[in-house]
């Protein structure tokens, strides 16, 4: 870990201007091999000085106060130790929403935005859809859906009480308090009710692969939000059959999957009795999302009339 050496280089001179501090930071980040050093330097500088990026550009010669230098230095060391930027500054943008993170929540990924877009397409035209987000974490999927489906109402479930507290806080802060409810639960085992859309980004990383992920992920995301068991599919095996029981007639299940899991998760989804299984790629061209439809009322009734009656609530 090279952070301790770099730390000494990062002691900004007492008269450091915004421009100098930003350049120093960007250089240290580039040397440490971070992907977007200039962008991250700007964002950390904003967080430490509480000046917007526009203000930084307008007045680049402005000197940092001693407090701002100390804060920036502490932030920079954390980033050089590979803590994700969003965890350092406290929020992460997801689908245009500022999502607060907690130590029990996965940091939302840009890659997951395609899940939101896909789910919104599947419920387009549906009035007042009821949405269930299984393993909601920070609440990011549910809140992004509610933000873009004005008549929708939703519920987020997570096994972690800490995650539920974070999700609830996000919902209140972003103005969705009256359209979102949250509860602690083990996948959908405690859920009674039917939903038009069920979304989930379950832990799907093969246990043996976790240590090899980027340090931002392996060291800072909660392990429970990543670990999908030996083959990565443990949570789909539990969740998918439960989802079928919680889908309203013709309701849609939209799952995030790992890039090499489309066939295996697709097979689980079909075996559970869902139909129209479709795989959607992310912007990087990797398989990222599976969608499927629950049987509509008549089909389910034809196949299993008694089952249908006992399931209806």
Closest to ligand GLN by CB, 126 or 207: 207
Give the shortest CB-151-to-ligand GLN separation in angstroms: 28
| CA 306 to chain CA mean position, Å | 39
* Site size with ligand GLN, rule: CB under 6 A: 11
For residue 98, what are the β-bridge partners? 93
Angle at 189 between CA 186 and CA 191, to 5 degrees: 110
- CA-to-CA dists, residue 238 to 13, 15, 224, 268, angstroms: 56, 58, 15, 10
Applying CB under 6 A, which of residues 226, 252, 262, 265 lies at the interface with ligand GLN?
226
Q: How far apart are CA 286 and CA 3, in angstroms?
A: 33
Phi (first) and psi of residue 10, to 5 degrees: -85, 0
Give the shortest CB-227-to-ligand GLN separation in angstroms: 8
Applying CB under 6 A, which of residues 217, 244, 253, 265 lies at the interface with ligand GLN?
217
Kindly write out the interface string for residues 3-42 of this chain, putting x where it contacts ligand GLN by CB under 6 A and - elsewhere: ----------------------------------------
Closest to ligand GLN by CB, 46 or 261: 261
Cite the beta strand spans of 59-207 per DSSP E. Answer: 91-94, 97-100, 130-134, 153-158, 180-184, 195-200
DSSP string, 220-281: TS-GGGTB--TTS-HHHHHHHHHHHHHEEEEEEEEEE--TT-HHHHHHHHHHTT-EEEEEEE
Give the shortest CB-42-to-ligand GLN separation in angstroms: 24
Q: How far apart are CA 56 and CA 49, in angstroms?
A: 9
The per-residue b/e assignment along 208-220, b for 16 or more CB within 10 angstroms, e otherwise, is eebeeeeebbbeb
Give the shortest CB-258-to-ligand GLN separation in angstroms: 7
Give the shortest CB-247-to-ligand GLN separation in angstroms: 21
Closest to ligand GLN by CB, 12 or 204: 204
Closest to ligand GLN by CB, 51 or 205: 205
CA atoms within 13 A on the CB side of 35: 6
- CA-to-CA dists, residue 173 to 96, 139, 274, angstroms: 14, 12, 36
Strand (E) or helix (H) holding 206: none
Closest to ligand GLN by CB, 18 or 167: 167
Kindly write out the interface string for residues 134-163 of this chain, putting x where it contacts ligand GLN by CB under 6 A and - elsewhere: ------------------------------
Bridge-based pairing state of the strands 247-256 and 180-184: unpaired
Kindly write out the interface string for residues 193-212 of this chain, putting x where it contacts ligand GLN by CB under 6 A and - elsewhere: --------xxxxx-------
For residue 225, what are the β-bridge partners? none
Residues within window 259-298 making contact with ligand GLN, judged by CB under 6 A: none
Give the shortest CB-268-to-ligand GLN separation in angstroms: 16
The per-residue b/e assignment along 258-267, b for 16 or more CB within 10 angstroms, e otherwise, is beebbeebbe
237 binds ligand GLN (CB under 6 A): no
Give the shortest CB-255-to-ligand GLN separation in angstroms: 10
Give the shortest CB-214-to-ligand GLN separation in angstroms: 7
109 binds ligand GLN (CB under 6 A): yes
Closest to ligand GLN by CB, 195 or 204: 204
Give the shortest CB-2-to-ligand GLN separation in angstroms: 23
Positions that interact with ligand GLN (CB under 6 A):
106, 109, 201-205, 213, 217, 226, 256
């Amino acid at each position: 870990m090279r952070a301790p050496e770099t730390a000494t280089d990062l002691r900004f001179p007492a008269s450091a201007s915004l421009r100098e501090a930003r350049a120093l930071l960007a250089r240290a980040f580039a040397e440490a091999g971070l992907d977007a050093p200039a962008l991250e330097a700007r964002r950390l500088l904003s967080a430490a000085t509480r000046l917007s990026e526009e203000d930084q550009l307008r007045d680049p010669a402005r000197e940092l106060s001693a407090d701002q230098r100390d804060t920036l230095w502490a932030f920079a060391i954390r980033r050089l130790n590979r803590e994700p930027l969003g965890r350092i500054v406290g929020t992460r943008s997801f689908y245009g929403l500022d999502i607060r993170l907690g130590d029990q929540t996965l940091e939302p990924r840009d890659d997951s935005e395609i899940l939101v877009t896909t789910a919104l397409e599947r419920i387009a035209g549906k009035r007042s859809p009821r949405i269930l987000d299984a393993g909601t974490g920070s609440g990011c999927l549910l809140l992004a859906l509610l933000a873009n489906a004005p008549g929708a109402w939703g519920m987020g479930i997570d096994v972690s009480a800490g995650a539920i507290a974070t999700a609830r806080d996000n919902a209140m802060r972003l103005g969705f308090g009256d359209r979102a409810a949250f509860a602690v639960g083990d996948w959908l085992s405690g859920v009674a009710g039917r939903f038009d859309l069920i979304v989930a980004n379950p832990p799907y990383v093969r246990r043996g692969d976790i240590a090899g992920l980027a340090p931002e992920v392996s060291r800072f995301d909660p392990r429970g939000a990543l670990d999908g068991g030996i083959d990565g599919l443990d949570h789909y095996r539990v969740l998918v059959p439960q989802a079928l029981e919680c889908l309203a007639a013709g309701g849609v299940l939209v799952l995030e999957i790992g890039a090499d899991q489309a066939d295996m998760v697709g097979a689980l989804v079909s075996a559970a009795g869902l139909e129209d299984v479709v795989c959607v790629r992310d912007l990087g061209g990797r398989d990222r999302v599976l969608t499927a439809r629950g049987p509509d009322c008549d089909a389910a009734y034809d196949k299993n009339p008694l089952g249908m009656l006992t399931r209806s609530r």
